[in-house]
Structure 1
Amino acid sequence: MQSGPREIVTPFRPIPLDVPEGMAPNEFFNSTENLNDLVHNNGLLMNPENLLMYRKALGHSNEFDTSIIYNTSKCILNPLGRPVRRTQVPDNVKHVWNRMNQILIGYMLEKYPDPEQHLVLAGEASLDATWPLTSPGVPSIRMLHNHFIVFDKQMLRDAALADPSNPNLTDGGQHSLFQSYMRDVYRRFFEALDLRILKPVSGTAAQLGLTGYPQGLPSWEIEGGAGALQELRFWKEYDEILKGFIDFYRTFFSQVSTRNAPPPADAYFPQRVEEILLFNNDFLKTAKKVRDKCITDAKYANSIRWQPAFKQLIYRNDEGRLIVTISQNSIGNAITELLGVVVKRVPDAAAYEKVEPALIEKLLEVRARLIEADLGEGIATRYWPAA
């Protein structure tokens, strides 16, 4: 079977939401009013830390698909001031967040044990607060949220091949600025991290044979597999990778913005930034190349995301090993596309309703585990009770 990115069709029930006249849809989706609708029509569980688990109304997969959002819509009314990455979350909230992640990922691996039959993934995409709210493709909810998704691999095998030049298929081999021009220094910077549970892997060990993705990205195997998710050390290392990425991103775009800029004042690894990045010719040559183009190409300059934008996820490879990877984000792409899965959502209430009962049964089953672990209280909607 030919390896390559796949495009699957996922039906959904049209959402009966009226966007007020004069507002762009993505402006409305960031409003407290819309988040109230999300809670009441699709909410599964909420806890005192404002972590909301919900059913994805516009889902990636109708096999299993749910998200947890850090719902700060009533605490922080300014959409541009809301936390959009794990490093901005208070420690007490992150502690609960990690336990919820652990239970949800454990449930997916238990429910779908065969890597030949199902693709299991979990992770987050940053919602960069520098994107104008009205830009096409800007994430519809500007708050940190995680995805928990399972795809039927037979459905992927039967799906049409996606266009590999699709700009949403952001990956190191095709579109990533970091990987294309600064691959060696990028990897060297990550290698300096103090990781004990996460072991670097590359090439086919990280790729899915069916899609050939991810391509060329730094990846790590979780030694100990699912059991390692029970260890606090793993989640700290997961954050170390994110911090390393943020340092690299901020340092690079600081140089793009201002020639010979100093290291970011809030760098997590300032010594490594100075020794590895700011004394590397490939790093600084690439910054100059981007800076020069920004000066002469207004459209290109407007596309730059000056603050860290990333996708970070945990997924199961073909051998059943758990892999962590991280990628530069691009506007408009989905976290599934990092693994070569393009989702075409189509409004089809009848098709969705055929698979809805089985999907909800699984969501309520894992919700019960979260409630039992004192991670929240159930939410009642027209589709399910509170408990």
Structure 2
Amino acid sequence: MVVAPKHILTPRPPMSLSIPDGMSRVEFFNSPANLKNLAEENGLFRTPEDLLMYRKLIGHSAEFDTSVILDTSRKILDPLGRPVRRDQMKRQQKKVFEQMTQILCGYMLDTYPDPEKHLILCGEASLDATWPLTKPGVPSIRMIHNHFMVFPYAQLKKAEAADPSDPNLTDSGHNSLFLRHLREVYHEFLEVLDLQILEYLPAEESALSLTGYPQGLPSWYVKKGREELTNRYFWYEYEQILRGFLDFYRTFFDLVSTGEAKVPSNANFSAQVDNVLLSSNKFQNVARDLRERVIQDPAFANEIRWRPAYKQIMYRDDKGRLVVTISQNSVGNAITELLGIVVSRVEDPEAYAKIEPALVGRLLEARERLIAANIGEPISAPCWPKGEYIPCREISAANR
């Protein structure tokens, strides 16, 4: 078997709303009108905290594909003013967000129990609120969101190999900054997190045998497996990984920006920042080299993401382990590409009509678990007005 990233095609129906002249796709997708339409036509479940589970009509997987977003579009009309990272959520929002994640992951693990047959993943692709809407690669919906996807390995094995230089696989080259130039200090900084439920996993052991991805990312596995997903301390440790990443990102880019080696005022692990990062000659030299390039090259400087952006995912590898990894997010590429899966969403109404009943049926099954948990209310949409799928393509189409 040739180990290589894969490129798959996923059908989608046409959009139901047209993009007005003069608007970019992302500007339109983030408009309150479009997000209202998304909830009405594709919404599955909403909590009092405005966490919205919805069907991704322009999705990545034809097997199982849904997202949960913190839908602040009705309260915050400015797209650049909405929360975009998990660390910006309120305590109750985060608590319910974690509960929904645990429930939906549990559904996927129960429905697809064989790690040799299905790849399961969930995770966030979060960004910095200052990213312009028109920047290449900015996510279609600029909100805190968690993806839940399943891919059959039979499909991935038959898929064509993806181009390893695809910008979505390389994060337009930005991922090489941490992994190629700062890999040792990056891993050293994150390795010393005080974790009990998660255990550090060498990068070479975290890669999927089919794709060879993730490549070089710091990773951890859940020692006792899925039973820990109901343990609130697991989510605390999951959060600690994010906090460590944010410290690394802020310290590095503050040094690039100012040239001053100092611990950020909002650091979570101040001693670790000082002892591991700022005492590293390699860390400081790379930051200062990058600073000089920013000064000299305006096009390069325009691509720098000065505020933290990340992709944090949990996936089941082919050994059956639940693995957590985190990466910087420079161009907003999808979390599937962290695992070496490049997805092209192709408008094909006939192909989508064939997969839609089973796909929606599984989403409604998963929704039943959220209803049983009594954390919100189901949404009646045109394709499932009474909790069961009915054909509705003439009145409900993609709006993401």
- Partner AA of 2:321 in structure 1: R
| Residue equivalent to 1:107 | 107
Q: Which residue of 2 aligns with 1:341?
A: 341
Deviation at residue 176 of structure 1 after TM alignment: 2.7
CA distance in 1, matches of 2:47, 2:128: 25
Distance in 2 (CA, whole Å) between partners of 1:19 and 1:352 is 22
Instruction: Report the counterpart of residue 37 of structure 2 in structure 1.
Output: 37
Tell me the CA shift for residue 171 of structure 1: 7.3
The residue aligned with 1:352 is 352
Q: Find out whether 1:8 has 2:13 as its counterpart.
A: no
Secondary structure of the residue aligned to 1:168 is helix
Structure 2 partner of 1:160: 160
Higher mean alpha-carbon deviation, 131-140 vs 276-285, is at 131-140
- Cα distance in structure 1, aligned partners of 2:129 and 2:31: 15
Residue identity opposite 2:221 in structure 1: E
Q: What residue in structure 2 maps to residue 227 of structure 1?
A: 227
In structure 2, the residue corresponding to 1:10 is in which secondary structure? strand
In the other structure, the counterpart of 2:94 is 94
| Pairs within 5 Å for 1:93-242 | 93-170=93-170, 175-242=175-242
The SS at the match of 2:168 is: coil
Is the CA contact (8 Å cut-off) linking 1:7 and 1:160 kept in structure 2?
yes
Tell me the residue number matched to 2:243: 243
Q: Which amino acid aligns with 2:148?
A: F
* 8 Å Cα contact 2:208/2:317 also seen in 1: yes
Alignment partner, residue 55 of structure 2? 55
Structure 1 residue 22: deviation in Å? 2.2
- 8 Å contact kept, 2:58–2:345: yes
Kept in 1, the 8 Å contact 2:119–2:316? The answer is: yes
Q: Which residue of 2 aligns with 1:255?
A: 255
Q: Spell out, residue by residue over 1:138-196, the C-alpha distance to the aligned partner (whole angstroms, 9 max, x if none).
A: 11111000000000111000000000011211379994311111111111111221110
The structural deviation recorded for 1:330 is 2.5
3-state SS in 1 of match to 2:264: coil
SS of residue paired to 1:212 = coil
Amino acid corresponding to residue 72 of structure 1 in structure 2: T
Amino acid of the structure 2 residue aligned with 1:268: N
| CA shift for structure 1 position 203 | 3.7
Normalising by structure 2, report the TM-score: 0.94
Partner Cα distance (1:206, 1:40) in 2: 39
Rounded to whole Å, the distance in 2 between the matches of 1:13 and 1:162 is: 24
What is the rounded CA distance, in whole Å, between the counterparts of 2:175 and 2:278 in structure 1?
A: 23
Alpha-carbon distance in structure 2 between the residues aligned to 1:161 and 1:2 = 9
**Deviation, structure 1 residue 386:** 5.2
Larger deviation: 38-47 or 260-269?
260-269
Contact 2:7–2:344 under 8 Å retained in 1:
yes
Identity of aligned residues (%): 57
Q: Give the Cα separation in 2 of the matches to 1:21 and 1:173.
A: 33
Kindly indicate whether the alpha-carbon contact (under 8 Å) linking 2:204 and 2:215 is maintained by their aligned counterparts in 1.
Answer: no
Larger mean Cα displacement after TM superposition, 331-340 or 15-24: 15-24
CA contact (8 A) 1:171 1:215 kept: no
**1:20 offset after TM fit, Å?**
2.3
Give the Cα separation in 1 of the matches to 2:240 and 2:76: 27
Asked if structure 1 preserves the Cα contact closer than 8 Å seen for 2:174 and 2:330, the reply is no
Native 8 Å contact 1:52 1:69 kept in 2: yes
2:391 maps to which residue? none
Map residues 257-276 of structure 1 onto 2, 5 A cutoff.
Answer: 257-276=257-276
**Paired AA for residue 206 in structure 1:** S
1:252 to 1:124, Cα distance in 2 relative to 1, 3 A: same
Greater Cα shift, 101-110 or 180-189: 180-189
Amino acid at match of 2:247: D
Corresponding residue for 1:310?
310
Instruction: Quickly say closer, same or farther: Cα 1:111–1:151, change in 2 above 3 A.
Output: same
Letter in 1 for 2:58: L
Greater mean alpha carbon deviation, residues 122-131 or residues 172-181: 172-181
Paired AA for residue 127 in structure 1 = L
SS in 2 for 1:169: helix
**Contact 1:6–1:160, Cα closer than 8 Å, also in 2:** yes
Q: Distance in 1 between matches of 2:218 and 2:61?
A: 26
CA distance in 2, matches of 1:91, 1:214: 31
Range 16-25 or range 350-359, more displaced:
16-25
* CA displacement at 1:277 relative to structure 2: 1.1
**Corresponding residue for residue 278 of structure 1:** 278
Q: Cα RMSD (Å) of the superposition? A: 1.5
Contact persistence 2:125–2:332 (CA under 8 A): no
Take 1:160 and 1:12, find their aligned partners in 2: how far apart are those partners? 20
Deviation at 1:244, TM superposition (A): 0.4
1:243-282 alpha-carbon deviations (Å, 9 max, x no partner): 0001100110001111015322111112211221112111
Q: Secondary structure at the match of 1:176?
A: helix
Correspondence 1:330 to 2:319: no
Change (3 A) 1:227 1:212: same
For 2:350, the aligned partner's letter is A
